[in-house]
Amino acid sequence: MIVGQRKPLAEIKEMVKNHKKILILGCGTCVAVCMAGGEKEVELLASQLRIARKLEGNPVEVLEDTVTRQCDREYMEPILEKARGCDAVISMACGVGVQLLSDLIEEIPVYPALNTRFIGTNEREGVWLERCMMCGNCILGQTGGICPIAICAKGLVNGPCGGTNKGKCEVSNDKDCAWTLIYRRLEKQGKLDNIRQIFPPKRFGLHVNPITQVNEAYQHAQKEEAHHG
């Protein structure tokens, strides 16, 4: 899931200091799970903002709402009228949600309440760990399901480096060496020969932003449309 972290109240307050009617919009999926941007977090931020602005003698009207997913137009349509009735929106979604909402209500400024951190997993209660760097060329099948790009401090696809020490990373003794973890996992799976495989370096020069992906079922239709258009 996408893991986000709420910005400090002072930063959020500064962004919307000149707005008098604000919608705080939460997202009910990833950022709700990591307790950064769900319904409860919307309520908390709304209360904090109202109180802070009142104490400053600059009261504000704050509306609250939460949608299932801010990255999906289907779920955004029902709240657009409410958003357009305000002079600003604070989005508690990841950066994708902020951008989609901005596209849908171009005339209304949308401010991010979160810093989007990484794609990760819940390790234990209240703790999330980065697991994926979205590199676009997944080698998890060869590395025992452990990502060397995300887990290794140097992002080495051919490791370990010379800094590994008794299974720990030279960056920190508290951090496991990713390639030691990979070795042990492959050993359990009886696939240690995989460790000898040499992976080519990532070709980041071919990566053009923003990336677009079209489902195969729709590719033919797009080609036909372009041909007849």
Q: Is pLDDT at 206 greater than 60 in this prediction?
A: no
Distance between CA atoms of residues 87 and 101, nearest Å: 14
Average pLDDT rounded to a whole number, residues 46-62: 97
Q: Is pLDDT at 223 greater than 70 in this prediction?
A: no
Q: Is pLDDT at 227 greater than 90 in this prediction?
A: no
Q: Is pLDDT at 96 greater than 90 in this prediction?
A: yes
Class of domain 2-118: alpha beta
Q: Which amino acid is at 205?
A: G
Residue 179: the pLDDT is 96
- pLDDT by residue (tens digit) across 8-33? 999 999 999 999 999 999 999 999 99
Q: Which residue intervals of the chain bear CATH 3.40.50.2300?
A: 2-118
Question: What is the Cβ-side half-sphere exposure of residue 26, based on CA atoms within 13 angstroms?
Answer: 24
Distance between CA atoms of residues 216 and 206, nearest Å: 22
Whole-number Cα distances in Å, 78 to 24, 75, 88, 164, 218: 15, 7, 17, 53, 26
Mapping DSSP to helix (H, G, I), strand (E, B) and coil, where does residue 200 land?
Answer: coil
pTM of the prediction?
0.84
Residue 61: the pLDDT is 98
Cβ-in-10-Å burial (0-12, 13-18, 19+) of 64 comes to middle
Asked if 91 contacts 116 with a C-beta cutoff of 8 angstroms, the reply is no
pLDDT band at 210 (very low <50, low <70, confident <90, very high): confident
- Which pair of structure tokens corresponds to residue 79? 């709240």
Residue 138: the pLDDT is 87
